Amino acid sequence: MKLHAGVFPVALLASAIASAQHAGVGSAGGHSFGGGHIPAHGPNPTSGLGRLTPSAGEEVGHPSAPHVHEDDDRWVGHDTGHNDPHYHLDNPWEHGHFPGAMGPGHVWRMHGGDRARFALGAFFFSVAAFDFAYCGDWLWDTDDIVIYDDPDHIGWYLAYNVRLGTFVHVMYMGD
């Protein structure tokens, strides 16, 4: 009987730890973020001039970083248009085009680095300076990332963090 009395508190503690690990992932305003969801497609091109600032935190409870709604794969915060000076490059593709696999069928595990230079497989990327604040909670040695083409900003890709449901603009730096 003493064995059974000890099992219940251990199971309760394990349940509490598991719940805490998923804090921040879940539902807000009817939308879920992260938690393993992978968008079926990248964002649509922005029509017109776009907004002056990204609309990432559009509702209370939503991430302040650009993110993707799990229920409709809407890319929130990718709406500044192709003339956004934050993503202008004088020499787009200066390190070449990313030769690796992209899109929802190709999940890459980060294995070291930081926002200035991180590795996905044998390939290296750098986060756009304007997006530094959006990736402060990324785990540079364990997060899963999916790379998508950026239809608006020439020379950039979008790195989607599967754990958090957020994304940033990244430049391919070579292999």
Question: Buried b vs exposed e over 12-42: b needs ≥16 C-beta within 10 Å?
Answer: eeeeeeeeeeeeeeeeeeebebbeebbbeeb
Q: Give bridge partners of residue 126 from the DSSP assignment.
A: 171
d(CA 12, CA 101): 42
HSE (CB half, 13 Å, CA atoms) of 141?
1
> For 62-66, 130-134, 166-170, which range has the lowest pLDDT when averaged over its residues?
62-66
Task: Tell me the pTM.
Answer: 0.79
Residue 26 has pLDDT above 80, yes or no: no
Structural domain that includes position 42: 27-174
pLDDT above 90: percentage of residues in the chain = 61
Q: What is the DSSP letter of 115?
A: T
> For 15-24, 70-79, 85-94, which range has the lowest pLDDT when averaged over its residues?
15-24
Residue 112 has pLDDT above 90, yes or no: yes
Mean pLDDT value across residues 22-30: 38
Confidence of residue 97 (pLDDT cuts 50, 70, 90): very high
Is 45 inside any structural domain? yes
The residue with greater pLDDT, 106 or 30, is: 106
Is 17 inside any structural domain? no
Q: Which of 22, 75, 21, 19 has its CA nearest to residue 50?
A: 75
The residue with greater pLDDT, 40 or 29, is: 40
Confidence of residue 80 (pLDDT cuts 50, 70, 90): confident
Is 135 inside any structural domain? yes
Confidence of residue 12 (pLDDT cuts 50, 70, 90): very low
Mean pLDDT value across residues 125-145: 97
Is 16 inside any structural domain? no
Is 22 inside any structural domain? no
Is 111 inside any structural domain? yes
Is 19 inside any structural domain? no
End-to-end CA distance of the chain: 60
Confidence of residue 63 (pLDDT cuts 50, 70, 90): confident
Provide the number of structural domains found in the chain.
1
Q: Which of 106, 129, 108, 126 has its CA nearest to residue 118?
A: 126
Is 8 inside any structural domain? no
The pLDDT score that the predictor gives to residue 77 is 87
